[in-house]
Chains A and B, each alone.
Chain A
Amino acid sequence: MKRIVTATVINQSGVLNRITGLMTKRQFNIESITVGHTETEGVSKMTFVVNVDGDGKIEQLIKQLNKQIDVLKVSDITDQAIVVRELALIKVISNAQIRSEISGIIEPFRASIIDVSRESITVQVTGDSEKIEAIIDLLRPYGIKEMVRTGITAFPRGSQKSVTDIKQYSILN
């Protein structure tokens, strides 16, 4: 199953190496990983998407991450109400004739064209992974020359639905 895990870490050299290293060592499959600064100076946040076999495995991952000295907080936010975003840049083969056609396709996705050349245009799209997949599917018939995706970043929404069944893993029993 796919889980979204966030880790708040001290922005120290080697911390990314330690974390990806432990994932490799314990055979966790990282689907995507993003890292960036937070509102606090010297503190970064990582968002992982991992594929795990069961609850025991994700519990073990969270505990192992928590054991790292430079890790401040780890949460599995998959089952919470969350905001999830990913950014993709897609370079599509297109000439002047079909440019407006593509424009029409991407418009409902609130994507934008950020670069135009004679043979191609580059589309920038933000959203959750399903939305990105959907736009890629629509653009593929035109010929995708190049594509990059950032992987998702996420955090919990300001207010949580009270009925949400949140799995809790605490290190304090």
Chain B
Amino acid sequence: MNLNQIMTDLSYFIPEMMLTGILLLVILFDLFQKADTSIRSGYVALGGLILVTIALLGQDVSTSVGIFSNMLAVDPFGNFLKILVTVGTILVMWMSFNSNELKNRRVGEYYTLLLTLVLGMYFLVSATHLLSIYISLEMVSIMSYLLSGYLKEQMRSNEASIKYVVFGAFSSGILLYGFSLLYGLTGSADIFEIQAALSAGTVSPALMMIILVMILVGFGYKIAAVPFHFWTPDVYEGAPAPITAFLSVAPKAAGFAIIIRFFNVALSSAGNPNMEAWAALSNMDWQAVMGILAILSMTVGNVIALQQSNIKRMLAYSSIAHAGYMLLGVVVADQTGIAAVLYYAAVYMLMNLGAFFVAIHIKNEFDTEEIEDYKALGYKAPVLGVIMAIFMFSLTGLPPTGGFVAKFYIFRALIEYGDMYFWLAMIGLINGVVSLYYYMRVVKAMYFGKIELPDTVHHAPVNITILLSVLAIPLLFAWMLGDPLSTFAQNAVQFFIK
């Protein structure tokens, strides 16, 4: 690797370099703010992220390349997820400006940490080396610990953050031990060479099984799949609400990205990824393991969500269930399956952020997070009520919302993949029915039951109404076939392969 090579590689690295520059700029800018509680550095961060999004959209990824000695890959798959997490972060920042929890405190470092987390996710979605996977995973995790404990004088926030850090450090340690064994058995830390060594068939399947279980602990914790989900409800309830919304969407998408890339590139058969994923693991039924994780996540998430009365906690368990639906697409792991997961991640981002944002606004205005207190909200705040109902319908997966289309793609991929997988789709469908109950409880509280009509009608501020409409309107039109998002997702299923 010579200097010229590095210069060429850097030309593929422009969005990341821009983001790093903006990050430093925000730190400097914050130093020169007179008022301690000024949120102007947040506006700088927001503007910077919009520029980075434009750079990402304009980036030419038609030829996938590996950069920095195959540490990172620049390919359509990574590009799609980078855009996804950046858009998610922009929306979360928008809501952070309106959050009461973050008012009157120094927020300069809040936005700095958030941007660092985004940078970590950029590396995570394009990592192709055990070292870069581990470093980027830690970068995302450490920033998440800090952000979830951001309200440090609040007992709940501290508790969320200590639970997060204990579970996180433990599972990343296990992941690392798995990586070290994988490195020893295959003789390389580069996932392309690992793939070559695995398809040569010299590695003992039993050892490989143990290693993959260890690796799955680390990855499963990042996407909050059962049985690695114990931190989720407490962290989601205790963290500042905008961060909860963020954690349930962006790092989860990045976690899915690394799972898909790792299993699809490192463990596929030689030179033929996407077609015969899992081929290097022919001696064991790895797909069944993923399928069981998916079933457990969906069922446990949905059943426990039924009993929750706090809306943030209910959404936390429902996010576990949604990780299960997305894992169904990972089980398929072919072109349609991965496109379905990407589409699901994008739609899930819109509807879940939306639901959290309504909850944040209601907490700001009415000071409650209990679902019971949403009573008559549909009459007290008509616009908010309708928008919340759209998010709830979409999270359930009722037609004609985006949530329905996303679930449809996942189930279609499963059924097309083989008759054996029909029962997995059926379990997913039954889980959808279970989730109907708790999502509709919110709608019921808002519109039905004994209701005294309020005297005054609450109107949300214009910028919040715009933000929520930006999230809700695409969900209503997702059923149109060939919508741009699904085309985008289908084109994004291309990995860099050495």
**Real binding pair:** no
Task: Give A residues with C-beta under 8 Å from B.
Answer: none
Task: Give B residues with C-beta under 8 Å from A.
Answer: none
